[in-house]
Amino acid sequence: MDGLKDQSVDTLQINDGSGGADVASWVSVCPRGLCKVWQKRAGEGTFNSGACSSSSCPRMGSLCQVRVQLKAYVDEADSFVSEKGNEKPSEAEATAFSRRRDSVLQVPLGDWTTLKLGEGQCDITEACVERMRAGEKCEVRAMRENGSDVSVPSPAEENLPLCASVELKAFTPGKESWEMSFGEKWDWVKSHKEKGGVKFRSGDVWGAADSYSRALKLLITLHGQIGEATKNGQEQEAEERKDTNTGHPTQCLLSANEFRTTKAELLSNLSLCQLKLNQPERARASAAKATQLEPGGAKAWYRLGQASQMVNELEEAKQAFRKLLELQPESPAALKALKNIASREKETNAQLGQRLSKMFS
């Protein structure tokens, strides 16, 4: 999962025709790949890339009233959101909309939308909002990592480069991960895992990988709350104390078995995404971690074998597929893979023999 997404903020100077301005920049995950994103505050002054306090900026779980418009369609006479009031959104559910393969910003353009921050539904828009205060407006530009402009389909212009404005009208309080109770974190982990499956089945492999990564990052923070095994080897029952205000557990000992199983499943799923995205080294590392956590996980062994083949680590691939055969005797996939590896090795040895014979002939 490391390196999939880096949302750390840095500052740089860009020549945008205004004499240079400080902007926030990061790499973001979109349905069709990684994008380099630049964000700067609209109007006079520079964008404040410093950290916001929990009360001044949205955090995980915040309901945010947001409006996103493509720059080509922004009315220059449109007033800033600070003049429209800052009533906080109600505790109702966030605006429902599907994640689309042909959209980078993901939100309905031109309309006020209520987002629940942290869900990973619209990565670029959420990342912008994390750095804003109520009543602020910013400009955002995104390009592919290879330097080409991101295009957003629109009725008027099919290949419009992504240059948009993001307005944050108001938001409800949220929390940093370390401020959450066990129950709140666990709910987020399960939610991201479920969303990852939905995205993968819809063909949104980048989005699925992002969801599994988010789940893993939160799950790791629960490591200190794993229950210790009892003397007879049985897992200790989880102990919970409910918060009287939220109803979530304030303390919980997650069983070591449940922690291990969940983490292994997430790593195995992430490995599959990385294979689909042609990231064999990352897929190999994710699958290897999954097999260490759950040696009985057949899918993780198969993915480790596939990734090892892709990076030409044939001995490691053979070991992975043989382990799969131990778990699933006569597995067609494992038998076919081992046959392919044997053919590759035979071909490699033949080529090596030919080169050696030429050297000494």
pLDDT digits (tens, 9 = 90+) for 50-108: 456 557 899 999 999 999 998 765 544 354 444 444 566 665 567 878 887 777 888 88
Which of 177, 23, 47, 152 is CA-nearest to residue 100? 152
Compute the distance between CA of residue 85 and CA of residue 88 in angstroms, rounded to an integer.
9
Bridge partners (DSSP) listed for residue 167: 67, 137
Asked if pLDDT for residue 22 goes beyond 80, the answer is no
Bridge partners (DSSP) listed for residue 240: 252
Q: Is residue 73 within 8 Å of 110, Cβ to Cβ?
A: yes
Least confident residue range of 51-60, 181-190, 218-227: 51-60
Angle, alpha carbons 186-30-100 (nearest 5°):
90
Map tokens 């949302």 to a residue: 7
Asked if pLDDT for residue 232 goes beyond 80, the answer is no
Q: What is the mean pLDDT of residues 205-233?
A: 79
Mean of all residue pLDDT scores within the chain? 78
Q: Tell me, what's the pLDDT at 259?
A: 93
- The SS3 call for residue 161 is strand
What's the pLDDT band for 334 if we cut at 50, 70, 90? very high
- The SS3 call for residue 302 is helix
Say what the pTM is: 0.79
Q: List the strands of the sheet with 137-144, edge to edge.
A: 6-14, 21-30, 33-41, 137-144, 163-171, 63-70, 112-116
191 burial via Cβ count (<10 Å: 0-12, 13-18, 19+): middle
- For residues 324 and 330, the model is more confident at 324
What's the pLDDT band for 201 if we cut at 50, 70, 90? very high
Q: What is the mean pLDDT of residues 320-336?
A: 94
Q: Tell me, what's the pLDDT at 158?
A: 38
Helix (H) or strand (E) holding 81: none
Q: For the beta carbon of residue 287, count every other beta carbon within 10 angstroms.
A: 30
Phi, psi of 23 (to 5 degrees): -135, 160
| Domains of the chain as residue ranges with CATH | 6-175 (no CATH), 179-352 (1.25.40.10)
Asked if pLDDT for residue 279 goes beyond 70, the answer is yes
- For residues 66 and 232, the model is more confident at 66
DSSP 118: T
Which of 45, 25, 49 is CA-nearest to residue 35? 25
Task: Please list, in sequence order, all residues whose beta carbon lies within 8 angstroms of the beta carbon of residue 124, skipping any fewer than 6 positions away.
Answer: 28, 30, 35, 37, 104, 105, 106, 140, 142
What's the pLDDT band for 361 if we cut at 50, 70, 90? low
The share of the chain scoring above pLDDT 90, in percent, equals: 44
- For residues 249 and 14, the model is more confident at 249
Enter the tokens of residue 132.
Answer: 């804003």
- For residues 61 and 45, the model is more confident at 61
Q: Tell me, what's the pLDDT at 43?
A: 63
| Amino acid identity for residue 88 in this structure | K
Q: Tell me, what's the pLDDT at 117?
A: 93
The share of the chain scoring above pLDDT 70, in percent, equals: 71
Compute the distance between CA of residue 68 and CA of residue 63 in angstroms, rounded to an integer.
16
Which of 149, 112, 142, 147 is CA-nearest to residue 127? 142
Encode pLDDT of 100-131 as tens digits.
777 788 888 888 999 999 998 888 899 999 88
Beta 226-227 vs 254-255: how paired, if at all?
parallel
What's the pLDDT band for 287 if we cut at 50, 70, 90? very high
Bridge partners (DSSP) listed for residue 252: 240
| Amino acid identity for residue 336 in this structure | K
